[in-house]
Amino acid sequence: EKGGHEYFMLKEIEEQPEALANTLRGHFESGRIILDEQRISDQDLRDVDKVFVVACGSAYHSGLVAKYAIEHWTRLPVEVELASEFRYRDPVLDRDTLVVAVSQSGETADTLEAVRHAREQKARVLAVCNTNGAQIPRESDAVLYTHAGPEIGVASTKAFLAQIAANYLVGLALAQARGTKYPDEVAREFAELEAMPAAVQKVLSTVDQVRDLGRRIADSKAVLFLGRHVGFPVALEGALKLKELAYMHAEGFAAGELKHGPIALIEEGLPVVVVMPSPKGRAVLHSKLVSNISEIQARGARTIVIAEEGDETVRPFADELIEVPAVPTLLQPLVSTVPLQVLAAEIARTRGYDVDKPRNLAKSVTVE
Ligand code: M6R
């Protein structure tokens, strides 16, 4: 049932194009984005004036990614918060607040409690969930299901990519309701999402290269991950994968923070994974990251660079270069996350750990 793979996680990584395609299917009909269940009126959706995304772990990272798109498309303020923190402070919520609860299992205790708290404060709750009929969607006002299929590996992979796609659909649904995007723009954004399964399929051709790299750096004592803009949550996700699977010290940083502390960690031979933005996107983001890489390389770091194919400027600074296909900036996390998943799994395997069942972790965390 592992489809010829040594572990489920690798199978699930390879199922990501399908998970994305299945998640998008049926959500754009007659020129409109549609949710799976909507128990709030279109008018209430139009009246939303603030969005919170609440989630844990990788689902939280999917929210961090989506913030860039939702704010850009809807011009609504979006806060992304760990469910366990959201619940125990006093967030400002009312009936015009939309709380998006993202949970693969739909049973995560912290996220469920956050949903209950939000509804007590009269906020509207939209669940993004991978499990039909789970508790979180049952208690929500609207639901968008990710169709990643069952995820066996404790480390989230295909559910994470599907969450990003679903969160983006939530952003487009809001933009459509509010009229901040014309119908033809919504259609164009959806078409770009629909092109992503093929792009992710292309990234899968790097699996052997990344596994080989993983074997070569498996005895490192730590790995750092750097990114900017949408690449920042990708860095956090890459570090989380490595912590949970390989039991290695791993940290994700916003590249702009380097000089505010983390650069002190750089030492000879330390692997640093850098998630590059497209050179064809915002040039300033790209050039700032190139200068970050040159700084850490000059201090002895072993730079592992995830960059758009054909990005020649970055080549001289990359000790290892992993190329991903060119896609629109907001969609880059869907391609750049994939090599980081493979890297973590292979490092864990090389160190002799159970990739599908890391120590101390459960697939679904049903206690707070
Ligand atoms: O089922 P959920 O999406 O609510 O789970 C949230 C986290 O527990 C989950 O993403 C966890 O961080 C994964 N092990 C990460 O790979």
What's the pLDDT tens digit per position in 181-207?
A: 999 999 999 999 999 999 999 999 999
State pTM to two decimals: 0.97
Ligand 1: residue of 131, 365, 367, 368 to mutate (most ligand atoms within 8 A of CB) is 365
Q: Are the CB atoms for 31 and 187 separated by under 8 Å? A: yes
Residue closest to 224 by CA, chosen among 203, 242, 244: 242
For the chain, strand residue ranges (E) read: 28-29, 32-33, 37-38, 50-55, 78-82, 97-103, 124-129, 142-145, 222-227, 249-254, 271-275, 302-308, 320-324
List pLDDT tens digits, range 229-278: 999 999 999 999 999 999 999 999 999 999 999 999 999 999 999 999 99
Give the residue-averaged pLDDT of 111-125. 97
Q: Which residues are catalytic?
A: 363
Residue nearest to atom 11 of ligand 1 (CA): 57
| Paired sense of beta strands 222-227 and 271-275, if any | parallel
- Owner of token pair 């007590």: 120
* pLDDT value at residue 321: 98
Residue nearest to atom 4 of ligand 1 (CA): 103
Paired tokens of 118: 């939000």
* pLDDT value at residue 283: 85
Residues with CB under 6 A from ligand 1: 56-59, 103-105, 108, 111, 154-156, 240, 244, 364-365
List pLDDT tens digits, range 275-319: 999 998 888 899 999 999 999 999 999 999 999 999 999 999 999
170 vs 153 pLDDT, higher one: 170
Task: Evaluate if residue 359 carries a pLDDT over 90.
Answer: no
Give the angle 148-154-155 at the CA atoms, nearest 5°: 75
| Paired sense of beta strands 32-33 and 124-129, if any | unpaired
